[in-house]
Amino acid sequence: MERALAQARAAAVRGEVPVGAVIIGPDGAVLAEAGNRTEADRDPTAHAEMLAIRMAAAKLGASRLIDCDLHVTLEPCPMCAQAISFARLRRVYWGASDPKGGGVEHGPRIFDQPTCHHRPELYPGIAEVEAAELLRDFFKARR
């Protein structure tokens, strides 16, 4: 999670919402890491999770990331949760919960839907205080 937090900090420095994601492969090696780039890329889908999934899939040459794990600093939104399911990620670890925009424990709860074909193991609350503080400080400075 420390690498994901580092990506979140770097995103904040770039003026992006501070969310970072890291994908770990079956052998324990880092396959991909990214921070949000929605502003820089002018792309509403350039969330840290989406970018990391794309990078890991390209690196493995596969659309399914079987036996790979995602570490992300914020509860994935519905878009990212659906991509996680499509990618068949094994586990998802996240820091801060997102009552307003989350799609796992909040909102549509993507993995609980009958149309969801893959449900990863879920581990919320990893480095939650630090992840939440990054977000709080970022938005406080913007207001």
Q: Which residues are catalytic?
A: 49
Q: Taking the C-alpha atoms of 30, 125, 129 and 143 in order, what is their torsion angle to the nearest 10 degrees?
A: 90
**Could you tell me the two tokens for 1?**
């999670």
* Contacts of 33 by beta carbon, 8 Å cutoff, 6+ apart: 3, 4, 7, 20, 21, 22, 23, 52, 55
